[in-house]
Structure 1
């Protein structure tokens, strides 16, 4: 099989609670504005409820207001700098290269995507920010002087699903509203849903996890090791995900074994389908003689 014909397997991750044990704002940013995480999220909840607003939009507004009030730069580089302090679950830093290598040995191309309500600029600044083929996440609009002034994209738990279809159709622009709605035959789509593995940690990921699973892909609910296991297990008993794993991405841990097994299955299914296609084509040529 040539390089171009290699099946592509898309690993799609939520970020907060999936690759990182906390919300990304809860590390250096909240300390810099003189708040603790409970105060920040309480204020965000109250603002959203009082204005009947989306909590993603309100947290983005609060970040701008608090940064400005505390003399913190609103440039993209500043948000990226805060991303450097974001903690990751055990094994995450080495995960991407190891899985890429495994895919290469198996004859598949591995691609990694973020689908998150968190801030794109902060994700870019994390230790793994350069490991992703695309980061679909909330982000800001910037002035000509590079100052954040307004939300450009706010990703909540329902509109997350649009990015699955963009990955499916090979669309890299978050702005696109045309190609995403064009009809494309399933066989012509860049990454079929059954070649997707979705990683999420809870309620905000349910629409994506269930969609991927219903379309023949695989969804994994992760939970912090030694706690909150019952939340993830509820998702599998409700038939919303395929697997439940502790968020330890180290070699030979449960999530590592599950993902490698799924990759094996995708490759085997791809080879099987190619074999059936070949035999059908051979039979057709014989009939036409």
Structure 2
């Protein structure tokens, strides 16, 4: 028996995709008196001189600079409401529901939102976005006997983000579920063709590539307030030269913006396609009554 496959999955990076900055720079470092410049200089030195992976380097640097008074995960979560967001968020998550009409809902079409980030999961768990998303995937710390963050429990880098796209595709959202288990394509709750991925640059290339390979949708967003054009050029390179993503747009999630128009069109096309497929399945299964 095949899965219903009536869910549309919208998947987002966070830093510089849903937020104009980096979550740690915005809320963690100011709260604990850490210099942003010195933090990233020290983190980069671990990468350049000692061969650390980027994500492990920043997590180790954070632990080093927060010692001996490391926070608890609950204290990190309490910083989540302070995260900056681009215009139109979180309102967009509710507003997009209006795109699904009676025909869509009658056949079970629905939207689900997910965040996959190399940032800290606890900050996202405490953010105003959390009630609107089904699952959040991010780096996590274990806690010691005193409840303070200790060793990294989960690390998500730009290459491992694709694992979580497969988790969403297969409905295997829990860490103990083996995403490598075989699952026929018709049993997967959210086909890649029903996904839309939003990211901001080179760290999202593996996800952009996967979306392109399996027929999904992807948009690279850039900061409209970046007068240096560095943010725009990252997206331009990915689209015009590297052929990694087809669509780019300024990160403005308000109704009527270029990005919202593209998102709404993609959602509507996917939703209408699901309705057509479901109706065709019903028609093909019907057997006409014998005539007289």
Q: Using structure 1 for the length normalisation, give the TM-score.
A: 0.89
Secondary structure in structure 1 of the residue aligned to 2:9: strand
Q: 1:252 aligns with which of 235, 249, 256?
A: 256
Aligned to 2:86: 89
Shift of residue 101, structure 1, vs aligned partner: 3.6
The answer to whether residue 188 in structure 2 is matched with residue 189 in structure 1 is yes
Aligned to 2:163: 162
Q: 2:259 and 2:82 mapped to 1: Cα distance? A: 25
Q: 1:231 and 1:7 mapped to 2: Cα distance? A: 34
Aligned to 1:235: 238
- What are the residue-to-residue correspondences of 1:16-31 with 2, within 5 Å? 16-31=15-30
- Deviations along 1:35-91, whole A, 9 cap, x unmatched? 33222111100022222111111211221222224x3x4211111122222211111
- Deviations along 1:213-253, whole A, 9 cap, x unmatched? 22111001000014322221222223212311110111111
Secondary structure in structure 1 of the residue aligned to 2:34: coil
Q: Which has the higher helix share?
A: 1
Shift of residue 6, structure 1, vs aligned partner: 7.5
After superposition, the Cα gap between the structure-2 partners of 1:54 and 1:102, relative to the gap in structure 1 and judged at 3 Å, is same
Q: Using structure 2 for the length normalisation, give the TM-score.
A: 0.88
The answer to whether residue 138 in structure 2 is matched with residue 134 in structure 1 is no
- Deviations along 1:130-152, whole A, 9 cap, x unmatched? 32100111111123442211101
- The answer for unaligned runs of 5 or more in structure 2 is none
Runs of 4+ aligned structure 1 residues displaced above 6 Å come to none
Q: 1:145 and 1:154 mapped to 2: Cα distance? A: 22
Kept in 1, the 8 Å contact 2:99–2:268? The answer is: no
Secondary structure in structure 2 of the residue aligned to 1:198: strand
Secondary structure in structure 1 of the residue aligned to 2:165: helix
- Deviations along 1:71-116, whole A, 9 cap, x unmatched? 3x42111111222222111111211111234336653211110111
Q: 1:128 and 1:63 mapped to 2: Cα distance? A: 24
After superposition, the Cα gap between the structure-2 partners of 1:185 and 1:6, relative to the gap in structure 1 and judged at 3 Å, is closer
Kept in 1, the 8 Å contact 2:5–2:190? The answer is: no
Q: 1:5 and 1:208 mapped to 2: Cα distance? A: 24
Q: 1:49 and 1:103 mapped to 2: Cα distance? A: 49
Secondary structure in structure 2 of the residue aligned to 1:92: coil
Secondary structure in structure 2 of the residue aligned to 1:84: helix
Aligned to 1:32: 31
Aligned to 1:273: 277
After superposition, the Cα gap between the structure-2 partners of 1:234 and 1:282, relative to the gap in structure 1 and judged at 3 Å, is same
Kept in 2, the 8 Å contact 1:33–1:66? The answer is: no
> Could you say what the CA RMSD is over the residues aligned between the two structures, in angstroms?
2.1
Shift of residue 154, structure 1, vs aligned partner: 0.5
